[in-house]
Structure 1
């Protein structure tokens, strides 16, 4: 794909998410763009998911995740180059984004810290696997200079992982990145490392220091940087401007380094040991059952982008025990989904399906990238996905039973299998083979047929019936405005569709037509009419930041409503007093399906009277 096409794709994605101004932050992982969105109601998810080169769109972990596949890095660069979105830029209103779910906050934090370094970790992990193969085959010995230099390249990332995490944590928590790195460097300073190895007794101001190994650790530096971010804000608020730039980093180091050695480090190291011990205990109770359950549910975790949230556990396992079994147990899922995609590829006679399933199966088995296989093939036809999940569970049970593990973070694929050489390696290889061939054979025999394509075509055809002229009533009394008068570039520019705006006289909003509720927020409701028009009512500008305050919602997603049914009640006076514009937009988000969207020439809107006409092609 040419670079200029990435630029065009980037512009389409930004337009579909409501513009650059609707983005709090953007990072990416191996296959996904991960957006923190200000107002979810401004996102045209359907248009986004139908964009060419976008595999699918997932809302999970407090993020809007746009699955791209292997080209995600290029698309990410194009978005930064063609829009005002900044890399990892967390807006100061991030806390007001409405995402207060503790699980979503945790997932968002983990992905923000680990996603930027996943590429380096994956490359280093693959290199470690190759070195294991070379030494096992006798092609290299561990005392060779070549081996030692390559091993330094492979192991350096993990040995000095706290330095990497210090920087990404600082970006996430808005702490000084170089002070954060300085703290991480102090934790691994050679003199301190030697003291730990020699089991010396150290004190700080006569307070005993509990020395622990911070090499390859995860939790201590993340907690330390989080505390640093709070400390820096406090120092900047009390220090005079003339000395702030000098004394803030000075005091930060003087306070945080001892605090980490005395309190944060030992406490988090203990927590890490408990976490690793807890996971090990759960698996050891019944490895076969635990492995089966982990393998079975892992495809769903990948589907929602939650799998990277387990990276702290994986790295902590490696730090505590020198190896990890969690990603090893779940690793054969890559082979299972690859096999299911291969089964579809071999069974179908449809060239378009083959063109999708073949590369997706190859990407999953060679590189361990399963999103194209899951979203483009197996989940689309359902049975292949569940067949893959079942064999992923079978393989997980086998892997757990033989006790296989890996000494580094690895994405399981043919290229990385050598990284698992050691205890249970033969059983692990057998599990991967069972997952791959079992999924492929079962999918081929009874998990897929081209009849599914016929059903899909019928569904798509029924969804694309010829549009009829429709009338949409005003949802509220008020003064009619043109969209160009709206003080928001996304609405004013027609980014979410054509329509009209109303400056409401009261706060009671009714359904403008018969239809089904597709999205329901306190400040916005999306509907699909029986004739196929996608209608969107958005009360006020930036009112998502009120988090439902002053609003009362009377419908939910999936409800059938009639024209004139109550949708929303809003306290407009209180909303205005909070400084918000209450202009309400009524849009047809699939305007391109119509020849034109016409607005009444009347200046006054009367709830229930015709305001918009959708003219078919």
Structure 2
């Protein structure tokens, strides 16, 4: 299909791009907010190839596409000149509770640079390792160049964060970079070393600060902003707000250069005078507080953070700790947080190795090999979502082993000196300036203990083959399945507890008409959604209200919790899986707060449809009420 032409036709028939306030997409449809819906040619759109139907609901003009909506959305964004993945109107900015918005902000700022950040840290770490082993002279040219390669990003980190922070906040990224460049400008950083201060502010307090220069008579407290984190993020946030205000009040004819000029002229002095010092003091206090809490009991801190790190990753909570660790490197010169999680990837590798060796399921064995290797190198998602979580006990044993490994790392006092790599590549970041010591050796011991313990626990107590249905060698069997069945036949079980409704009876016409697939709807009685088949999560929308599966037998299943619940933007929904993950039938996928969603005014009727229904003869159950894993739909391959 020509998505570019389809996008042009859609834009033209919603009234043109000038009629679009915002456009986003969910798992099946484009969701427009139009200035004037009467300008849209609804009947033309409904009859257009590539469009299932058109709906108006919740103040949105919804163009239902189906499974190809991401491709169509991308084409619409390109053709219309809209901002990708963001509403056109800034007033439609992402909503959600304060904590979720904070996590989203932090991940949006740091995710783009994590790869090169880890790479730079690995170079610094290996450079320190080579000096410790006597392979390099720290006065030689080879060391100096390698040090420059590894250290450059950290020294100029504010410049990268200026770009990503401004972009995340909705400002002009290059303005953020220029603000950061001023903060690390060598001539200003060198002023304190060139002479005596004019006077001292806050003398006798913890904030005592010498003043070397003034700005129009206002004292400027010169801080060291190289390698800093918080000052540039706060400054970028202020600059974004200022830029948007100036863009509204400055005439269009001179806006191109006056908006950035006044943004810089106001933001940079204000940062040097107010934002920078306050943010720097805050970052120092945060670093000291973190180290102090760790110092109360490194063993307990290691056990808690190390043991629960995989859980933090599952729910995105690690984004609350990663920036603290980065801040610690810049303000304290070291960090204990990321050090105590070192053993977790090795513990997971040990559990996966046990599954690899013992499993009788050929698919599980095939998945285990790459998952084991990636875990050694610190990439835990394949092993966590594909192996450990579906089997449950290996995940529990991984957490236990990671906690013990983290406690040992805390006992040995291992800390990181640079933001290093993951897995085995993180080890060089633990080497102190004086060379390899017991804290480094202790980290190796902790990782080995975590890996061996997880392997032993999983191998002997992991129930690896308890629910093996792939080879017919386990005790559990699929509902209504027999050994003589055609492998393309499929049994779909209920993903939730609730009351059955016919698709034709629900409010959403796209689902009710069967245009998005054949199946049934369920009125949920509790807020838990389980996998209806064993297979792969083919789609999981960011708001966690809809999920798609591709079963082992080839059925494509879509479950959409509620009507228009995409508007909640993830509020009241919690996902326990990720797109691309391997899942087993009956595994918990999503939790949602039934009462809270209803109080927000949304209907929770949940369609469960087979989107490739043309390949099957479909028989739905006649029962009025179902519970998880009750037979829901039988598919017979054509």
With structure 1 as the length reference, what TM-score do the two structures score? 0.68
Residue 117 (structure 2) aligned to one of 121, 125, 132: 121
Query: Matches of 1:411 and 1:250 in 2, distance apart?
Result: 39
Asked whether the 8 Å contact 2:284–2:332 carries over to 1, the reply is: no
Cα deviations by residue, 1:130-170 (Å, 9 ceiling, x for unpaired): 11111111111122222211211111111100000011111
Say which SS state the counterpart of residue 329 (structure 1) adopts. Answer: coil
1:314 Cα offset (Å): 0.8
- Aligned length in residues: 491
Say which SS state the counterpart of residue 170 (structure 1) adopts. Answer: helix
Matched, 1:391 2:368: no
Q: How do 1:264-283 residues align onto structure 2 when only pairs under 5 Å count? A: 264-283=275-294
1:380 Cα offset (Å): 1.5
Query: Matches of 1:283 and 1:514 in 2, distance apart?
Result: 44
Say which SS state the counterpart of residue 349 (structure 1) adopts. Answer: coil
Residues 147/540 of structure 1: CA separation in 2 closer, same or farther (3 Å cut): closer
Match of 2:465 in 1: 450
Q: Which ranges of structure 1 fall in alignment gaps of 5 or more residues?
A: 1-14, 25-37, 49-75, 501-510, 527-532, 549-555, 561-566, 576-581, 599-612
Q: How do 1:406-421 residues align onto structure 2 when only pairs under 5 Å count? A: 406-421=416-431
Residue 429 (structure 1) aligned to one of 439, 444, 447: 444
Match of 2:155 in 1: 159
Say which SS state the counterpart of residue 453 (structure 1) adopts. Answer: coil
Cα deviations by residue, 1:182-212 (Å, 9 ceiling, x for unpaired): 1100000011111245575111111111111
Q: How do 1:538-549 residues align onto structure 2 when only pairs under 5 Å count? A: 539=563
Matched, 1:381 2:391: yes
1:347 Cα offset (Å): 2.0
Query: Matches of 2:159 and 2:216 in 1, distance apart?
Result: 27
Match of 2:517 in 1: 497
1:82 Cα offset (Å): 7.8
Asked whether the 8 Å contact 2:360–2:468 carries over to 1, the reply is: no
Match of 1:295 in 2: 306
Match of 2:140 in 1: 144
1:262 Cα offset (Å): 0.6
Residues 264/115 of structure 1: CA separation in 2 closer, same or farther (3 Å cut): same
Q: How do 1:163-312 residues align onto structure 2 when only pairs under 5 Å count? A: 163-198=159-194, 200=197, 201-312=212-323
Asked whether the 8 Å contact 1:344–1:448 carries over to 2, the reply is: no
Match of 1:405 in 2: 415
Query: Which stretch of the first structure deviates more once superposed, 534-543 or 308-317?
Result: 534-543
1:592 Cα offset (Å): 3.8
Cα deviations by residue, 1:368-394 (Å, 9 ceiling, x for unpaired): 101111111111111111111111111
1:80 Cα offset (Å): 10
Residue 27 (structure 2) aligned to one of 15, 18, 22: 18
Q: How do 1:339-378 residues align onto structure 2 when only pairs under 5 Å count? A: 339-365=350-376, 367-378=377-388
Match of 2:583 in 1: none
Asked whether the 8 Å contact 2:119–2:421 carries over to 1, the reply is: no
Say which SS state the counterpart of residue 326 (structure 1) adopts. Answer: coil
Matched, 1:133 2:129: yes
Query: Matches of 2:108 and 2:431 in 1, distance apart?
Result: 31
Asked whether the 8 Å contact 2:561–2:607 carries over to 1, the reply is: yes
Residues 305/473 of structure 1: CA separation in 2 closer, same or farther (3 Å cut): closer
Query: Matches of 1:291 and 1:160 in 2, distance apart?
Result: 31
Cα deviations by residue, 1:572-611 (Å, 9 ceiling, x for unpaired): xxx9xxxxxx9x999552254584689xxxxxxxxxxxxx
Query: Matches of 2:600 and 2:219 in 1, distance apart?
Result: 60
Query: Which stretch of the first structure deviates more once superposed, 429-438 or 586-595?
Result: 586-595
Say which SS state the counterpart of residue 589 (structure 1) adopts. Answer: strand
1:180 Cα offset (Å): 1.2
Residues 95/290 of structure 1: CA separation in 2 closer, same or farther (3 Å cut): farther
Query: Matches of 1:157 and 1:148 in 2, distance apart?
Result: 15
Asked whether the 8 Å contact 1:295–1:330 carries over to 2, the reply is: yes
Residues 537/325 of structure 1: CA separation in 2 closer, same or farther (3 Å cut): closer
Residues 88/288 of structure 1: CA separation in 2 closer, same or farther (3 Å cut): farther
Residues 570/209 of structure 1: CA separation in 2 closer, same or farther (3 Å cut): closer
Match of 1:590 in 2: 610
By percentage of residues, which structure has more helix?
1
Match of 2:478 in 1: 461
Match of 2:19 in 1: none
Residues 397/475 of structure 1: CA separation in 2 closer, same or farther (3 Å cut): same
With structure 2 as the length reference, what TM-score do the two structures score? 0.66
Query: Matches of 2:519 and 2:386 in 1, distance apart?
Result: 34
Query: Matches of 1:385 and 1:275 in 2, distance apart?
Result: 32
Query: Matches of 1:100 and 1:514 in 2, distance apart?
Result: 23
1:328 Cα offset (Å): 0.3
Residues 128/16 of structure 1: CA separation in 2 closer, same or farther (3 Å cut): same
Say which SS state the counterpart of residue 208 (structure 1) adopts. Answer: strand
Match of 2:13 in 1: none
Query: Matches of 1:535 and 1:16 in 2, distance apart?
Result: 16
Asked whether the 8 Å contact 1:517–1:525 carries over to 2, the reply is: no
1:298 Cα offset (Å): 1.1
Residues 360/473 of structure 1: CA separation in 2 closer, same or farther (3 Å cut): closer
